[in-house]
Amino acid sequence: MPSGKEPALHGRGLIRNVSELGRIGWTDHGLGRIAYGAAYAEGRDFVRSRMETAGMATRIDRVGNLFGWFEGTEPDQPAILAGSHLDSVPGGGIYDGAYGVLAAFEAAKAVHAQGPHTRTIEVVGFTAEEGGDLGGTFGSRAFTGMASETPALALERAGITAADVAASKADPSRYAAYLELHIEQGPVLWRKKIAIGIPTAIVGITRYEVTITGEANHAGTTPMKERHDAMRTAARILDRWFASIADRTDMVSTVGVFRLEPGVAPVVPGTAVFTLELRSTDDAITGKAAGEFRSLLSADEECTGSMRLLVSKPAVRLDPTMQDTIEEACRDLGVPCVRMPSGASHDASPIAHVIPTGMIFAPSVRGISHSKDEYTSPDDLVRGAEVLARTIRRIDEAATAAAG
Ligand SMILES: [Zn+2]
C-alpha cells in the first residue's frame, strides 16, 4: 500500500512552463521548434535552466537529448526515467512532447519534495522525435542504440556524426522504467470525457508504394471499352478496399499520396502511383490486410498492379505491469481511466524494446494535434502530471518493498 500523502504537485507552475516554452519557436502557423534549429536550442535551455534551479543535476548527450535528475537514496538501483520530446513538427501545437517533459519535471519535483526516494528520478527531453530526414523518434532511437542506420547526409545537416549517435546509446539496465505522458492526439478521451488513457500498445506502421500500370492514350479518340486507364483501376480498387474495411476497429488505412502519369488532362493515365499505409496494434492483422489488398490488385482486368514495401515498423506492446501501476495510481487519485491503443508513434516505441515502458494519455480537445489549434485543458494537464507523479512514487515504493 503506498503512503497516504500525495506528492504536492505544482500545477500552476506546470501550466506556466507549458505556455512559456510554447512561445519559444511560435510562428503565425503554429509552433516551429524544429530539432537542431535555434528555437529548439533555446527551448532546451529553458527546460535545463528550470531543472538546475530546482536542484537537478543535468546533462546533454551528444545527439542533443536533455537529462535532469534527482539522485535516489540508493543510486545503484535502476532509475525511473520519465519524459517525452522537445521538438515539434512545423506548424505544430505547444503540447505535443513538451507537455510530457514539463509534466515529468513537475512530477519529479513533487516526488522529491515529498520525501526520500530509493531510485534516482530522471527526466528526459528527447530530440528529433518528429525526425524529418533523420527518421522519427531519432533521439530516443539513439538513446536505445537503434539509430545506427541514419543516413550520413541527414546527420551532417543536423551537425552531428555517427560517433555522436553511438556515444549517445545508454545502458538500459540502468533504468527500471520509462514513463511517457503525452496528449492523446486523437478524440477518444475527449469524446468519452475520461481524464486518462492508458495505452496498451503502440500501433505498427506498414507503408507500401502501389503502382498500377495501364496504357497512356489519347483522351478523345480511345473508346471507353478499349482503355487501360490506371486512374479508373485505382479508383475501383480503392473504393472496394475502403468499403471492405469501413467497419473495422482493429486497423486503419490511409492513401496519403497519389500521383498520375503522365498527369495531363487530355491523356488517359498510363500509371497511378500511391502510398497505402496500414496501422494496427497487431502485426498479423496488418499482414493479412496487405494480402487482401494484393488480391484486389491482382483480380483487376484492366491494368496490372504491384506493391513495394517502404516502411515496416512492428507494433509495440507496452509493459503490462506498468499499465497496472498507472491504473492503480489513477485509482489512488480517484481519476477515471481507460485502456486504449496508441495510433501515433512515440519515443516510448523504441524504448519499450529495452526498458519496461508505460504511457499515460491526456485528452486532446476535438482530437486535434500537429496543428496550432492543439489544446488540452489546464485541469487535464495537471491531472495527467499528478497520475505520473503517483506512478513514479508507486514504482519507487515497490522497489523499497522488494529491497526490505
Ligand atoms: Zn509527440
User: Grid cell 520519465 — which residue?
Assistant: 82
Q: What is the pLDDT of residues 48-106, one digit of tens each?
A: 999 999 999 999 999 999 999 999 999 999 999 999 999 999 999 999 999 999 999 99
C-alpha cell of 285?
A: 492483422
For residue range 345-374, what is the model confidence (pLDDT) as tens digits? 999 999 999 999 999 999 999 999 999 999
Ligand 1 centroid distance, CA of 248 (Å): 26
Distance 272 CA to ligand 1 centre (A): 33
For ligand 1, the distance from its centroid to the CA atom of residue 183, given in whole angstroms, is 8
Cα–Cα distance for residue pair 388/367, rounded to 1 Å: 21
Distance 362 CA to ligand 1 centre (A): 12
For ligand 1, a single-atom ion, the residues with CB < 5 A are: 96-97
Q: Share the mean pLDDT of the chain.
A: 95
Rounded to the nearest angstrom, the distance between the alpha carbon of 85 and the centre of ligand 1 is 6
Instruction: Name all contacts of 348-351 with Cβ < 8 Å and 24+ positions apart.
Output: 348/140, 348/178, 348/180, 348/199, 348/202, 348/316, 348/318, 349/137, 349/140, 349/202, 349/313, 349/316, 350/137, 350/140, 350/141, 350/143, 350/144, 350/146, 351/140, 351/143, 351/144, 351/178, 351/180
CA of 294 to the centre of ligand 1 (A): 33
Q: If 0-12 CB within 10 Å is exposed, 13-18 middle and 19+ buried, where does residue 168 land?
A: buried
Distance (Å) from CA 104 to ligand 1 centroid: 14
CA of 210 to the centre of ligand 1 (A): 29
pLDDT digits (tens, 9 = 90+) for 257-315: 999 999 999 999 999 999 999 999 999 999 999 999 999 999 999 999 999 998 888 89
Average pLDDT over residues 243-256: 96
So what's the architecture of 204-313 in CATH?
2-Layer Sandwich (3.30)
Cell numbers at residue 89, please? 513538427
Q: Ligand 1 centre from 168 Cα, in Å? A: 21
Mean pLDDT across the stretch 30-55?
A: 97
**Residue boundaries of the structural domains of the chain:** 11-202+316-403, 204-313
Helix/strand/coil for 195:
coil
CA of 93 to the centre of ligand 1 (A): 10
Interval between CA 348 and ligand 1 midpoint (Å): 10
**Could you give the maximum distance between any two Cα atoms of the chain, in Å?**
86
129 CA to centre of ligand 1 in angstroms: 7
What is the whole-number distance in angstroms between the Cα of residue 72 and the centre of ligand 1? 28
Q: Is 35 helix (H, G, I), strand (E, B) or coil?
A: coil
Residue 97 CA, ligand 1 centroid: distance in Å: 4
- Between the CA of 331 and the centroid of ligand 1 the distance, in Å, is 26
Q: What is the DSSP letter of 34?
A: -
Q: What pLDDT, on a 0 to 100 scale, did the predictor assign at position 399? A: 73
* pTM (whole model) above 0.75: yes
CA of 306 from ligand 1 middle (Å) equals 33
Domain 11-202+316-403 has CATH 3.40.640.10: no
Residue 212, H or E segment = strand 204-213
- Per-residue pLDDT for 17 more than 80? yes
Centre of ligand 1 from the C-alpha of residue 206, in Å: 19
Query: What is the distance between the alpha carbons of residues 179 and 175, in angstroms, rounded to a whole number?
Result: 11
